[in-house]
Structure 1
Amino acid sequence: MTTLNLSLGERSYPIYIDSKLLSNSNLLSTHIRSKRVCIVSNTIVFPIYGQLIKSLLTGFDVDEIILPDGEAEKSLTNFDKIMSHLLANGHGRDSTLIALGGGVIGDITGFGAACYQRGVDFIQVPTTLLSQVDSSVGGKTAVNHPLGKNMIGAFYQPKAVFIDIDSLSTLPTREFNAGMAEVIKYGILGDACFFQWLEDNTALIKAADKNTLIQMIQTCCQCKATIVAQDEKEGGIRALLNLGHTFGHAIEAEQGYGNWLHGEAVATGMVLAAKLAVAMNLLEVSELRRIEMLISAFDLPLEAPENMGFEQFLSHMKRDKKNMGGLLRFIVPTGIGKSEIRDDVTKEMLQQIL
């Protein structure tokens, strides 16, 4: 078993990565401080893994909240369902929430944990590639709003993250590929060797070779843990992790949450960010082509939706959380393995690539 540690002083926590991790009957319970536990999951994941998790909690008082599946369910309506369930079932400040599912479940459960009685413990059990390599680590929690993605939320760290790669065996190919967008992101923004490794190991990744997947997920989690440890609340370097997300979030909001998967929108967003970097003379065209080739190797989209033009993008990007002083801020790659935060992007540059 691989164990990483996200170092945040008293808020530090372990990230466990392994095959058959959820067969370890003692590991989960060591991170729960009272007998009251609530599992938050969805209608797809809970029937597969819910009873397994409950079997690891013999002797605990366990109930569950089962939400519908999909990005559109990361809403204030379902946040209210979580709050109402916890109150109606007598959960106290010493209860622990377990987020069992992908990024939607992890985000809304974490936000619920941050808010319920001003903060209760929660544990991440991510079951999708995207949540395993990105959203389960780092403590960003939120729900969506029709006017913007993740605009209502909190920074709130879990007590532990349990990444069992066997859960990827039940993941649809489209969802796996969407998760690869976040994997590729780490190579583009800060690790040229990892980007090359992804190019060299594409076939093994697509074949779901377990050792390859463990190494890949471990590299991503270590990269994110290192950055978050330096900048927990995104005052500086952590913003680099939003590579592709300014464009991607605009696509998701405009198209309707769930019509484009988050990873698909981020993949296109990274290509647009790279094209922007080329337009700014910050990136070589040859490196843009490498980015496009690796993204397309996992059947991810390279082009923005045909029904989205400059004005639609701009209206959403004006509400981006990274903006400061009225200036749009973009994360742009300046080479494979290098990226920068820029606020000198002109409307003319954006029109050129959009």
Structure 2
Amino acid sequence: MTVNVGVIGAGMIGTDHMRRLDRVVSGARVAAVTDIDPARAAEAAAGVGARALATDAEVVAAPEVDAVLVASWGPAHAASVLAAVAAGKPVLCEKPLATTAEDCRRIMEAERAHGSRLVQVGFMRRYDTGYRAMKALIDEGAIGAPLMAHCAHRNPTVPEAYHSEMATKDTAIHEIDTLRWLLGEELATAQIIRPRRTSKRFAHLVDPQLLLFETESGARIDLEVFVNCQYGYDIRCEVVGEDGAVRLPEPREAVLHAAGRSGSSVPQDWKRRFGAAFDAEVQAWADAVAAGRIEGPSAWDGYAAAMVGDAAVRSLETGEVVPTKVEERPDFYA
């Protein structure tokens, strides 16, 4: 079976997914494309032999579309995902699932009313080989009970439109989901501390930020978000347990010895660092759609991450510890 995918959003991530579906993923193809910019949609569709349509609703309703991939602007995600669920079509939604926890809740309610899972959220780090190796070691008890985690998410620069809340909502959201998944429990509290600001930022931006979390069992997590670090895209994670520690391995790079120095290059963007994880994610989703079952990160994961993100944003202004108020996971998402 070939899964015919309707893509909503033909920006940077949307076009990258279209390339992936066209050239990398087996058992799937792009059937229809839409974007807020009709010319961009037409160009992207032509590049993969698909049909350009005017609206999200037309893509979801198109008879040739079996499943939907949402890669539009975050505030538009909820409406597109709800339309796909109403049509009974599986949907892979890039993060965030929605920009508010209430919209995430609406999506869960619609999915449960449908009676089976249709929604997968694009938390692609769960498909990265390094993170998967960490997860396997933690789950088998190789480091004992986890006590602490130390993480960093660094970008060389960000555009002027990037604002302080995006450090949580768009950047740290990946670590929020990854840590929930690695440790197998919810994050109960969130706090943001403001270190000295870098001078290499726009005046409106708080950068760097230090995010602190506590899990339900009392494990402590610190996460540095530094989006103007200048030197590259640097992702780090270490979990410390009672009997040992496990650290995310560095991406494999050739080591150059020359001119009295030894070193390797640093990735400059997410495509180079996580390209293979995106490939694995979309392939797994296409396989799941073909088999009639969705098993990746769920609407519940999108909701829980949104609740943690909301608490962190509230703490950004006050510096106080804020409860996340994540509820007990429904059996539907067990």
Specify the TM-score bucket, using the shorter chain as the normaliser.
0.3 to 0.5
Which is bigger in relative contact order (C-alpha 8 A, separation at least 6)? Answer: 2
Q: Which has the higher strand share?
A: 2
Q: TM-score, normalised by structure 1?
A: 0.37
Q: Which has the higher helix share?
A: 1
